[in-house]
């Protein structure tokens, strides 16, 4: 009872003896508090971008100033608490994204990975499609990431360096069971296989279907941080999947894979 009486006293004081303006003030404060909590929840689930981070920071300080001017006590306390703890939380939750953010800000990580001709683009696409179908029919697990504008040098440098001309024979051989490159990813730049056995960052999403394995989670994780396109071949089902921009398309056909790759790759 003591706590209930104390709470009523606080509300009574806050609303100026339960006056109409005071109750409206309390209602706005409570509503804004719920909105802030919902926004925090959503922020922990979105993809991190430089532009988005700047917008979030500007909106935060705009809301902070508004709450301060109108003396919305509850919301103001939550924002102060959020401001105090946000630095540690952001570093823990978005460690990989922050690293990518710093790299892209302070050094050039953009490549001109445009195909010189339409024929070159078609040749690469057909090679990837044929290799994917070959691996799919034999249920050989595979992970093939194709670099676009974002440089994947940070991953290539830690993998088995190859830099060989892309061919169906070489690409499929790298994923044969028992080879040192079977479990990692192959990274392709234009018409070159840059490396094999690369380890990709895994997604932190909670809503990824349990039927998708480690390769699929790694492909999604890469697409959340870079603009690369990744082909995944399931070892269990032989299904072909493709990830881009944080989204995965599962169980696509040969024609769908060809169409998607044609759409994602650009010619000068």
Half-sphere exposure of 70 (CA within 13 A, CB side): 17
CATH number of 118-264: 3.40.1700.10
The answer to whether the beta carbons of residues 231 and 142 sit under 8 Å apart is yes
Q: Whose CA is closest to 240, among 225, 259, 263, 224?
A: 259
Question: Residue 116: its pLDDT value, please?
Answer: 80
How far is 257 from 263, CA to CA, in rounded Å?
10
How far is 181 from 198, CA to CA, in rounded Å?
8
> 3-state SS of 91-148?
HHHCHHHHHHHHHHHHCCCECCCCECCHHHHHHHHHHHHHHHHHHHHCCCCEEEEECC
Each residue's pLDDT, cut to its tens digit, for the chain (268 residues) gives 544 565 566 566 656 666 777 667 667 666 766 776 666 656 555 555 555 666 666 776 777 666 666 666 656 666 666 666 666 666 665 665 566 566 555 554 566 667 888 899 999 999 999 999 999 999 999 999 999 988 899 899 999 999 999 999 999 999 998 888 988 999 999 999 999 999 999 987 777 888 888 999 999 999 988 999 999 999 999 999 999 988 999 999 999 999 999 999 877 6
- Three-state DSSP class for 242? strand
Question: Residue 4: its pLDDT value, please?
Answer: 59
The residues pairing with 193 across neighbouring beta strands, listed in sequence order, are 164, 188
Burial class, 204, CB count within 10 angstroms (exposed 0-12 / middle 13-18 / buried 19+)? middle
How far is 200 from 220, CA to CA, in rounded Å?
9
Question: Residue 267: its pLDDT value, please?
Answer: 75
Question: Residue 42: its pLDDT value, please?
Answer: 62
Question: Residue 62: its pLDDT value, please?
Answer: 74
How far is 7 from 10, CA to CA, in rounded Å?
5
The answer to whether the beta carbons of residues 261 and 166 sit under 8 Å apart is no
Q: What are the residue ranges spanned by the domains of the chain?
A: 2-93, 118-264
């Amino acid at each position: 009872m003591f706590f209930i009486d104390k709470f009523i006293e606080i509300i009574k004081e806050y609303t100026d003896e339960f006056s109409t303006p005071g109750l409206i003030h309390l209602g706005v404060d409570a509503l804004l508090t719920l909105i802030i909590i919902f926004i925090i929840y959503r922020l922990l689930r979105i993809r991190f971008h430089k532009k988005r981070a700047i917008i979030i920071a500007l909106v935060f300080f705009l809301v902070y100033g508004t709450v301060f001017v109108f003396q919305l006590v509850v919301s103001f306390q939550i924002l102060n608490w959020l401001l105090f703890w946000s630095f540690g939380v952001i570093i823990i939750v978005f460690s990989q994204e922050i690293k990518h953010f710093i790299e892209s800000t302070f050094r050039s990580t953009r490549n001109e990975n445009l195909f010189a001709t339409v024929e070159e683009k078609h040749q690469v696409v057909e090679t990837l499609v044929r290799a994917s179908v070959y691996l799919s029919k034999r249920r050989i697990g595979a992970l093939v990431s194709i670099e676009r504008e974002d440089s994947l040098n940070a991953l290539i440098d830690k993998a088995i360096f190859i830099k060989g001309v892309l061919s169906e024979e070489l690409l499929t051989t790298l994923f044969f069971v028992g080879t040192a490159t079977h479990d990692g990813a192959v990274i392709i730049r234009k018409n070159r296989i840059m490396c094999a056995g690369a380890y990709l960052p895994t997604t932190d999403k909670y809503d990824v279907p349990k039927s998708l394995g480690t390769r699929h989670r790694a492909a999604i994780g890469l697409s959340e941080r870079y603009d690369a396109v990744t082909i995944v071949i399931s070892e269990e089902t032989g299904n072909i999947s493709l990830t881009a921009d944080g989204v995965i398309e599962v169980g696509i056909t040969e024609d769908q894979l060809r169409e998607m790759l044609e759409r994602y790759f650009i010619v000068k």
